[in-house]
Amino acid sequence: MSAGAVVLLLSLAGNAVLGWAYLEQRDQAAAAQAKAAASLATATTQRDQARADATACSDATEALRELADRRTAAAAPARAAAASTARMHQARADATLSLQPSKPADLCASMQAMGDEWLQGRAKP
């Protein structure tokens, strides 16, 4: 075999090895791109789901705020009536606490007399 043929065969073998290495790298790059595209699709899906969840949470919070506002408005008359009743009871308690004992020497009899007066006032229609 001549030297030119040997060089030609070596060149052909080198080109085959380089071609094979190139194809291997190309396949790996294509696989990496496919993996990156799949990862991007997953990230996009997760982002969209997070946005949908956040929107649903905001909508639910808004609905709860509106419900709380309606309940606050509906309960306002009951709270006003309860406050009025509480003021009346507080005034009555202050009046009772400011009374002087009817029998200063016998506090038990004084308390009995106060209880009797309270019961008489309660019996009135």
Q: Which amino acid is at 60?
A: A
Interatomic CA distance for residues 63 and 60, integer angstroms: 5
pLDDT in tens, 35-51: 988 888 888 999 999 99
100 phi, psi to nearest 5 deg: -90, 145
pLDDT in tens, 52-87: 999 999 999 999 999 999 999 999 999 999 999 999
Residue appearing with tokens 């065969």? 9
State residue 106's pLDDT score.
Answer: 85
State residue 123's pLDDT score.
Answer: 65
**Spatial contact of 36 and 30, defined as CB atoms under 8 Å apart:** no
pLDDT band at 125 (very low <50, low <70, confident <90, very high): low
Contacts of 104 (CB under 8 A, 6+ apart): 110
The reported pTM is 0.46
Q: Which alpha helices (H) appear in the chain, and where do they start and end?
A: 3-98, 107-123
DSSP state of 105: T
pLDDT band at 102 (very low <50, low <70, confident <90, very high): confident
Percentage of the residues of the chain whose pLDDT score is greater than 70 = 98
